[in-house]
Amino acid sequence: MREAAFAKQNKDKWLRFENVLRNNIQVPPDELSALYVEITDHLSYAQTFYPKSNTLNYLNGISVLAHQKIYKTKRESRKRFITFYTKEFPLFFAQYQKQLLIAFVTFAVFSIVGAYSAATDGDFVRLILGDGYVNMTLQNIEDGDPMRVYKEMNELNMSLGITINNIRVALMAFAFGLFLSLGTLFIMMRNAIMLGSFQYFFYDQGLLWESARTIWIHGTIEISVIIIAGCAGLVLGNSILFPGTYSRVQSFMRGAKDGVKILISTIPFFIIAGFLEGFVTRHTEMPDWLAIFIIGSSLALILFYYVFYPLKLKRKLQLQQDERNATANA
């Protein structure tokens, strides 16, 4: 549905609700509740299909006013945390699938570049990973325990350290979006080249499967979160480059807010990745089927939450709106 048609169809309800709020008009609680629910539905629809529009700004303003008027004396529901992750964020993120794809393709391409560079330049791996790491790993391989690095620290300390480091990388990927998205692409490129050269190094040692089944236990979520943080950085950078109908400042503020929301969504996944690396990856004796199961489950979780589920909610919302339109026109 075109934005103009959507606004024309619903403007009477919006104006009615705004009038009630601004003028403190007394209406039956059921009517007020129904209006509020409908307005929030329309807001979600506008966020998905008209992400940079005056309609969205108007509905957002009414929603904020309603929240202040209706809930100013109430505590935020404990379910707010749950609904953010189960409904609000996935529906919101449906509009940023393009940026997610760009971030993924960038990371994939430069991972291949890293592997190719390592294959064609004997010194490249040492240049990227450092002599200390390479020499340590070669010694571990010679000692018969190539993945020893994951067993040397205490589980809890390693988990916390890795989680903090992953958050640092993600924040850099997001914040560097301020440099017109190029900074984010640079962070993605650097980490992807490191990953590609790392994997080729183990391939060259005849340990590709040994390394893959080990590092991807935690790496599946860890790398995915970095890509998602890169998506957030592109949202931020593109808001400066392409303000659309907004002023550049307004667009930037909107992009920063949306980028932060994307980052917040990754917090549980940071914790999961840190736990896996600290407590699970070290068990290199685990059977292959278990490692494959963990890796496959992690990948399925990421794809479901950041790709399939948002698109499913978007289609559901579209169908509901189409049904309302059909009923209204009947």
Instruction: Note whether 216 and 322 are same-domain residues.
Output: no
Instruction: Note whether 68 and 120 are same-domain residues.
Output: no
Task: Give me the number of domains the chain comprises.
Answer: 2
Sequence-ordered alpha helix ranges (H) in the chain = 3-22, 29-49, 54-71, 80-83, 89-93, 97-120, 124-129, 131-142, 155-175, 182-204, 208-241, 248-265, 267-275, 288-303, 309-329
Sequential pLDDT tens for the chain (330 residues): 788 888 888 888 888 888 888 777 766 666 677 788 888 888 888 888 888 788 888 888 888 777 766 655 445 555 677 888 998 899 899 999 999 999 999 999 999 999 999 999 989 999 999 999 999 999 999 999 999 999 888 898 898 988 999 999 999 999 999 999 999 999 999 999 999 999 999 999 999 999 999 999 999 999 999 999 999 999 999 999 999 888 899 899 999 999 999 999 999 999 999 999 999 999 999 999 999 999 999 999 999 999 999 999 989 888 877 787 777 666
Please state, in angstroms and rounded to a whole number, the distance separating the CA atoms of residues 140 and 134. Answer: 10
- Amino acid identity of 59? L
Token digits for 106? 């960038």
Distances from the Cα of 124 to the Cαs of 35, 118, 309, in angstroms? Answer: 63, 5, 40
Instruction: Note whether 142 and 36 are same-domain residues.
Output: no
Token digits for 28? 């039956």
Q: Residue 79 sits in which domain range?
A: 3-92+317-329
Instruction: Note whether 134 and 26 are same-domain residues.
Output: no
Please state, in angstroms and rounded to a whole number, the distance separating the CA atoms of residues 139 and 129. Answer: 15
Instruction: Note whether 200 and 287 are same-domain residues.
Output: yes
